[in-house]
Amino acid sequence: MWQWDDVRFFLAVSRNRSLSGAARALRVDHATVGRRIAAFEEQLGSKLFDHTPDGFAITAAGQTILNQCEAMESAATSVDRLVAGHDARLGGLVRIATTEGLAHVFIVPALAMLAGAHPQLQVEVMTDPRPLNIARRQADIAVRFARPTDADLLCRKLGDCGLALYATRAYLGARGVPERGKGLAGHTSVSYLGAPSWFNEALAGARVVFFSNSPFVQMRAIAAGIGIGMVPCCLGDDYPELQRLSSAGLTELRPVWMIIHRDLRRVARIRLVANAIAEAFEHNRQALRYGRARKAQALNESPGASRALK
């Protein structure tokens, strides 16, 4: 008889193509993954993976059982969600997937408010830029800029995040301040690793010389004078070395969504955390959209800013 645990290890290796990647996903050590895969192969009497220079490649035998294993996973997580939906406890673990910046500014302060009142509550905040699968319970709550299309996921808009171009005064003194509508030709820029098209369009004309998937590393690079970068205003305005390019106005407004699987919406501890996060975003809606200390200054100095916000 197949064991669900064996299937979990098989699927983790097939998706991550390495023992170490599967180990991180399953929260075990890589030796355990290797041992479990070897035992599963021995039980089935077939080799499921070939070890290649590019990682673990699934064999023909492994491919034949892949769909069935994914169906088992779907059924198991569905049962898990349905049972969890009747959980009225306020204690236990809640996993949140979000971005590093949103966690820093909004989510951690919201969770701090819960800590004293609910000491049995445990929260895990994951800021890996890779999307986590809510349906598979890789996370209970996601706070993201992208809205998923899965009908089983409930999406609540938390607000709009304003992003603007930032640089240091020394950089602008040496390179000049970009003029509205003339792009960033002649400038160097700091960009997000794997940035979506709208992010790259904001830096059009500049020569990208630095990439990072961390907003804090990006801000440190901008503050070091490497180039111009686009940063959420709620982060950039708190960085004293950075100057918002108010002449360029607000570059982008990106909606922020909270995502929960519909089967988990009545789990007491998940609802408790979700409500705390929603209240924090509502309370800080203006800071999310316009930034903090320099909100009024940026709006007054930029004649096109109010139009960009509509």
Q: What is the pLDDT of residue 223?
A: 96
Cα atoms in the 13 Å half-sphere on the side-chain side of 102: 30
Per-residue pLDDT at 245 = 87
Q: Which domains does the chain have, with CATH numbers?
A: 4-84 (1.10.10.10), 92-159+257-284 (3.40.190.10), 161-254+291-308 (3.40.190.10)
Closest to 40 measured CA to CA, from 16, 20, 69, 67: 69
pLDDT of residue 152: 85
Residue 66 DSSP one-character state: H
pLDDT at position 249, please? 57
Q: How many CB atoms lie within 10 A of CB 259?
A: 21
For tokens 């929960």, the residue is: 260
Give the angle subtended at the CA of 156 by the CAs of 236 and 25, to the nearest 5°: 75
Q: How far is CA 276 from CA 77, 264, 271, 273, in A?
A: 26, 16, 9, 5
Dihedrals phi, psi of 100, to nearest 5 degrees: -60, -40
Residue type (1 letter), 250? L
Q: How far is CA 255 from CA 58, 146, 159, in A?
A: 39, 8, 6
Please tell me the predicted confidence (pLDDT) of residue 303. 37
The token duo for 114 is 């819960």
| pLDDT mean values, one per 10 residues, the chain (310 residues) | 82 92 88 91 91 90 89 78 62 91 95 88 87 76 90 92 94 88 87 83 89 94 95 92 76 91 85 94 94 53 33
Task: State the pLDDT at residue 83.
Answer: 65
